Amino acid sequence: MWLLSLAVMVAVATRYWAELSSLGRCALHAALRLCRGKACVRSTHAFVFVNCTHGKAQSVLETFDLYARAHPSLAIGREKGEYVEEVVRRVAPNQALELGTHCGYSSIRILRALPPSGRLLTVEKDLVTADAGEEIILVAGFKNTQFQVLTSPSVEAITHLHSHLGDKLVELVLMDHDVQQYLPDLMLLESRGLLATGCVLLANNVQLSGARSFLDYIRSQPGRYCINNLTQGLLELNWCP
Ligand SMILES: *[C@@H]1O[C@H](CO)[C@@H](O)[C@H](O)[C@H]1NC(C)=O
Q: Is the CB of 70 under 6 A from ligand 1?
A: no
Q: pLDDT, tens digit, for every residue of 5-34?
A: 555 454 444 444 444 444 444 444 445 545
Q: Is the CB of 180 under 6 A from ligand 1?
A: no
Contacts of 130 (CB under 8 A, 6+ apart): 101, 124, 149, 151
How many domains does the chain fold into? 1
Q: Note the maximum CA span of the chain.
A: 77
The verdict on residue 194 lying in a domain is yes
The verdict on residue 30 lying in a domain is no
pLDDT of the residue at 16: 46
**Which CATH number do you get for residue 143?**
3.40.50.150
The verdict on residue 149 lying in a domain is yes
Higher confidence at residue 171 or residue 20?
A: 171
The verdict on residue 225 lying in a domain is yes
Q: How confident is the model at residue 39 (pLDDT cuts 50, 70, 90)?
A: confident
The verdict on residue 199 lying in a domain is yes
Contacts of 59 (CB under 8 A, 6+ apart): 52, 53
Amino acid at 92: A
pLDDT of the residue at 18: 44
Q: How confident is the model at residue 186 (pLDDT cuts 50, 70, 90)?
A: very high
pTM: 0.86
pLDDT of the residue at 126: 95
The verdict on residue 65 lying in a domain is no
Q: pLDDT, tens digit, for every residue of 131-151?
A: 999 999 999 999 999 999 999
Closest-CA residue, ligand 1 atom 9, reads 47
Average pLDDT over every residue of 57-74: 94
Amino acid at 123: V
- The whole domain housing 171 covers 76-239
Q: pLDDT, tens digit, for every residue of 71-115?
A: 888 789 999 999 999 999 999 999 999 999 999 999 999 999 999
User: Which of 41, 49, 51 to mutate for ligand 1's pocket (most ligand atoms within 8 Å of CB)?
Assistant: 51
Q: Is the CB of 146 under 6 A from ligand 1?
A: no
Q: Is the CB of 51 under 6 A from ligand 1?
A: yes
The alpha carbon of 60 and the centre of ligand 1 are apart by a number of angstroms equal to 13
The alpha carbon of 211 and the centre of ligand 1 are apart by a number of angstroms equal to 35
The verdict on residue 155 lying in a domain is yes
